[in-house]
Structure 1
Amino acid sequence: MKALHIITGLGVGGAEQQLRLLLRHLPVRCDVVTLTNPGAVAEGMRADGVRVRDLGMRSNRDLGAVPRLARLIRRGSYDLVHTHLYRACVYGRIAARLAGATVVATEHSLGHAEIEGRPLTRGTRELYLRTERLGAATVAVSDTVAGRLRDWGVPAARIHTVPNGIDAAAFRFDSAQRRFTRSLLGLPDAAYVVGGVGRLVPGKRFDLLIGAVAALPGAWLVLAGDGPEAVPLRALAARLGVAGRVRFLGECGTAGAAPTIPAVLSAVDIFVSASREESFGLAVVEALAAGLPVVHAACPAIEDLPAGRVPGTTRIGSSSGTTGPEEELTAALRHHVESGTRRLPPPPVVDAYDIRSSSRRLLDVYAQAVATAPLPPTERVHP
């Protein structure tokens, strides 16, 4: 089988990194097209031996992208097209239909009120649903997302849940890496360090982490990620008088001067995900693989499981009350600091989210989509 993956962009992000990891484990010949922004993840894919092309899409309304994509699909003689992220799903489904190709889409980022961090509008939903019908299947990265798709009106028979996956061994705690990374970042050996990972955007609510650390004099904070909120968050840390206890690392890849994400997770003592909405919660699963206690708000990777399946996790914001989110987070962190919570063995759920299992499940979706796709007009058998 030969597949073409179409994605909106290839800067550092959860969906982008997930695609790169998936390609390492899919026993399928795969090429990748990015509509725009061939960033650090594109470079990593090329280093892995994947062919990556930049379509050079100029704006959200660059309708010329559709025929360009369709020509590329025809010339590549792909058995299947797989689209990722909203814009790529809309344009890629139309192009694949024009090219006579079977198309599968993965929904990485659908929230209750947002998609890819943008507010959901009636027009956004309508365009999504109209183009969704052009595909053979839609993959949800969690049961939560599958439920949202059904609520939107996507037929249940077209939805397949394939959870995001990780390579757990890559995140295993390393004491030598912990010492080295703490020294590199100027973190005191005895300091209690809070960790956060993700795009610096409003929905991730990293401002809550900075406020909580400001209320805990003995705590430090390491934030791995970049984005439009980088400058405001630095200003907030300075305004609260904790700039000296907060480390902004920017984008952390798999190589280079900045520590890798596994190194960061070895260096910190607790992980926090305060996101208002998540479609899965990949960073939380990575933190659990590193043996970290976790405080989280929205995280379908945990919430979709039976209660009590993931020890060492604390959920905030799950009940109504007079306490605000920052106060609730501060209280949770204070409890961990005062009780001296230590690193834990990775819970069994980490194995359930193994990337190899995810790749096998996705292959089943591919096989079903190709087997049930209608024949192109030139290949239909007439009576």
Structure 2
Amino acid sequence: MEIFQADTEIFAGIDTEKVLDQISCKKYFFMTDPMMEKIGMSKKIEDILKRKGIVYEVFSEIEVNPSLDSIKKALEKVVEFSPEKIIALGGGSTLDSAKAVSYFMGRSGIELPVIAIPTTCGTGSEVTSYAVITDMKNMVKIPIKDNKMIPKIAILDPEFTKTLPKSVVADGGIDALTHAIEAYTSKGANLYTQIYALYAIKTIFKNLLKMFENIADRDSRVEMGKASCIAGFSFEKAGLGINHSIAHNIGGKFHKAHGRANGVVLPYVIRFNSTDLETARRYYEIAKELELPANTIEEGAKSLAIAIEVLNERLGIQSCVRDLGVEESLYRSLIPEMAEVAMNDICTSGNLKRVTLEDMKNIFEMIY
């Protein structure tokens, strides 16, 4: 039996103020990050709320890799302020922080819905039940999953992605592509999730470089926003795989952007997973849709890995962990620990090809 249910109301390519005009709320907790404040993006939301006469409080102490400490600070302010809803403006870190706050408030019996306004095209966090928080003491990323964290509303407003630096466009776009490819090939994939995933993959290949090379191209920003969101729908229902398990370790241990870590790892994981016939067949199906060389299943899977390597190069994404600036002796000393953590990561269970601890250690060796 295949079941698919969408839980988030999505507004794509629509002005944020028009959407907020439709929402009944007298008191918002507004979560954003220091960069959004610095470049004036958060002020646009504050101006809307002021015009509407809505009471709000701003929390902007969000880190690139949100920590348990920052979530605790936000929770203390929420308890004191007692808002009706959360507005979250920012990238995956901000959206994940807002969802984590909503989750912990829900555990105490208080429902606090999230309105997500992504400012990057990549994480898909605006439609998923996942949040990734960093335990700074142990330098480990902790994925949390709970359906109550899924935002009630997502606003995909291209106004908030028109000033993104190239590195953020690259990291976000390759993150979304990884979501879609892993969702298409995961254990939990079905007809509906694969339709979403395949659409996202094709849209990303068509629009990511356009957005990367010309951020003023509104159409490519709109399309990438939709593709990221659709990829989010797909992996929310189908799950992910070891690409994310490995990237969580690299990001947590060495403070590297999650999307970039995913992009570095992706060609290696495709080649590893291609030794499983069913996974290779799914890579072949993707390659066929992208009109890559795919006369056989083996050729199709190989073509997909090569196509991603070419895309990475054009986006300025490194081809191995060493090129990310990670010191070799430290990295190799941590491989046994990272492999153990990756095996226990929530995403590993979704990998169609069975993975052993030795496999995981070998992959960590290969990607360096």
- Classify the TM-score, shorter chain: 0.3 to 0.5
Q: Is the strand fraction higher in 1 or 2?
A: 1
Of structures 1 and 2, the larger Rg is shown by 1
Q: Is the helix fraction higher in 1 or 2?
A: 2
> What TM-score, normalized by structure 2, do the two folds share?
0.32
> What TM-score, normalized by structure 1, do the two folds share?
0.31
